[in-house]
Structure 1
Amino acid sequence: MTDPVAEVIPLPHPVPPVLAVGAFLKNTLCLASGDKAFISRDVGNLETVEAVRAFDACAEHLLSMAGDLPVALAHDLHPDFHSTRWAEAFATGMGVDVVPVQHHHAHVAAVMGEYGLQEPVLGLALDGFGLGPDNESWGGELLLVGPHGYQRLGHLATLAQPGGDRAAREPWRMGAAALFALGRGDEIAARWPAMHGADVIARMLQQNVNCPRTSSCGRLFDAACGLLDVKPVARFEGEAPIELEKLVTRPTVDEHGYRLQDGELDLLPLLDRLLGMDPADGANLFHGTLTAAITHWVNEAVAATGIRRVVLSGGCFLNRVLTNGLVDGLEERGIEPLRAMRLKPGDSAVSLGQAWAVEMSIAG
């Protein structure tokens, strides 16, 4: 049998055993115990029988490694994940504390765990989806994270997500949502004539039916792809943004392409500019302006808090253009960006973040 433990991260001091059960996508589990965090292999997305069986086997293995019962189990806020239900059932049966950890809090805490940090940091968590405590879809978050939890300092302005999760695999839907937000919903059917149901999507947006709002940076990328006709229908979530990044040659910046008010960063002016642009020119403009906007956003938070360390986390940081641009822009302003080192920035690191968030709270 393949060793279920794929990575061992050294911790800065001995900790009591905490088992964290990870995210829904790219699921891993993590046992923090003693001076190490043991992270399981990626068992996949918890939507197949095979992944669920692999999850259960990894959980059993890590529990056997712990020896004693863990002092706590950590899980995602989402109540319907197999990982959440497993953690709650185990905790109830064994009399162990169970601690929900918000998805983006965990993303930031994962990088803190890699660096052995407990002092407060700013955290920029950019990804596709994570449930917020308000029961809304989060994914473009600026957080203050420390041993006593997290504070949401700001977020990307929300967009409608017509059809819910389906919009993550059909970026033209997010393009339609952007067009509607710009007051041009009557153009949706004509703009995407090849898309079956474009007129239905226009009516859904008009009537606000099955159009949950999201602050997701991943969906913002999808909106840009939809407007630029880059992979309007994708095979998997994230495919269109990958193709958009490949078109970038030299990022350009529209200084009027965003608005920042009360911590909310609104890129709708940028999306307006993308309409009718050549895809390569649009890719350059989108990446350059998004990077400049986020750099400004973080700089404002640094000025307000006095904290000069900023964690960059979440799956959007697999985009090298965005990541390198942000690192350069922040360092030019005397801000220290911290990125994942041994782990990936995406959901496979969430279990470490869940565990470290709980360990920080225990240590106080």
Structure 2
Amino acid sequence: DGKPVGTTPCRVENLKLGEPYTLELKLRGRKKWSTRFTLDTTELRPFHARLQALPSGKPATVEVITTPPGARVSIDGRALKGTTPLVINDLQAGRKYTLVASLPGRRDWSTSFVPESGRRLQLSGSLPAEDSGSSSSTGKRAVFQLSSVPPGASFKLDGRPVSGSVTLRPGRSYLLTASKEGYAPWSERLRPRPGQKKTILARLTRRSQQGNTGSGPALLSVDSQPWSSVFVDGTLIGTTPVANVRLAPGRHKLRLVNDELKCSKNITIKVAAGERVSKKIVFGQGFLRVIAKPWAHVFINGQKVGTTPFPPKRLYEGTYKIVLKNPALGRSEERAVKITKGKTAQVNVNFLE
């Protein structure tokens, strides 16, 4: 409601039950995120917000220098070709990245950064030699202790069953989920830092008996793969996963939109009074095949994906802007291509004609 309460991750207390609130998140270089909610229980209610990058003009460039040189580099868990010193082009400006540099016999070096449009950013770091003791191999990893309320929940990490504690390598994110019979599913995305130690407490919400108490509003929870903005009857309610959205009994139209991938999905649901409804929406995938003579750089929605020839590329269903460029011939072509689940769309361009 316009009052600053802190920076994420953040816990807000002393809110009144039954009173509507507006939650708003802002981050430099990102689109503002907001949602309306009303609390009907004293249990902790989580919000997971995905702040989309603002559109930018020129791509950003980063130069990575390490001492000693020759380190392998990964960004957000994606390994890059080559070793340091390394120049990374075509990064999205305004977006936060996590970089990890690794070299055998040395401790990893990691840093987070937000590149600016059209500018070259230089990142420098040292990789100290590992100690001879065994503690060095675990010091650079993060350890998370897992527990739940109520106890007895089953945990999965990226779909793989885990229990007790997990030791994770920094440089990428992990999806931790918890489930227990009679309770709504719980999830949290972990972004480990070197040497981090933290206890993860999964607070589970009990499902209503038979899903219908016969009175009061319905509660809707939505998750999706990939992430998406969720609209109910035309009103934005948040970014997946969203939980315990109050709905009046009856039919409602859901629209899930991923602006970055330019894909969307529409479904209709019917809820009863007091019912708890959980939806997991998975967008279908198809393929894009590009054939260019003699060759072309290929861009999808402004991001370079490769130079022909390359194998058919898997994409989520939706409509994409495809641009083919051949600088040697001074030619380019732009197409709008619709990807359909289970099918292959093809783009043919002959720059020699």
Q: Normalization by structure 1: what TM-score?
A: 0.29
Question: If you compute each CA radius of gyration, which structure gives the higher value, 1 or 2?
Answer: 2
Q: Which has the higher strand share?
A: 2
Q: Normalization by structure 2: what TM-score?
A: 0.29
Q: Which has the higher contact order (CA 8 A, sep 6+)?
A: 1
